[in-house]
């Protein structure tokens, strides 16, 4: 069984792990938001009327050619 000191150390370590996990969640969320903002900023350029998409070539279909 834990003595008082070991019990307190266990709680301190648990609290620290919880803080680290929360920090990692916040970092992942910030990265996700920045990535989404970058993609949203690039989207108008991709959807511009005068800029055809890379796969939009006349006479081409989205299937592979038979061998």
E strand or H helix that includes residue 45 = helix 4-46
What are the pLDDT digits (tens) for 37-65? 999 998 876 555 555 556 656 666 666 76
What mean pLDDT comes out for the span 20-28?
98
Tell me the CB-side half-sphere exposure of residue 14, using CA atoms within 13 A: 6
What's the token pair of residue 61? 């279909």
Structure tokens at 63: 């299937």
pLDDT at 51: 56
- 1, 52, 54 from 48: Cα distances, Å: 68, 8, 13
In tens, the pLDDT along 30-39 reads 999 999 999 9
């Amino acid at each position: 069984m834990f003595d008082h000191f070991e019990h307190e150390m266990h709680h301190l370590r648990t609290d620290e792990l919880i803080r680290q996990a929360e920090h990692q969640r916040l970092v992942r969320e910030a990265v996700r938001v920045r990535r989404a903002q970058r993609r949203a900023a690039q989207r108008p350029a991709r959807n511009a009327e005068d800029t055809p998409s890379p796969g939009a070539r006349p006479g081409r279909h989205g299937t592979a050619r038979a061998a």
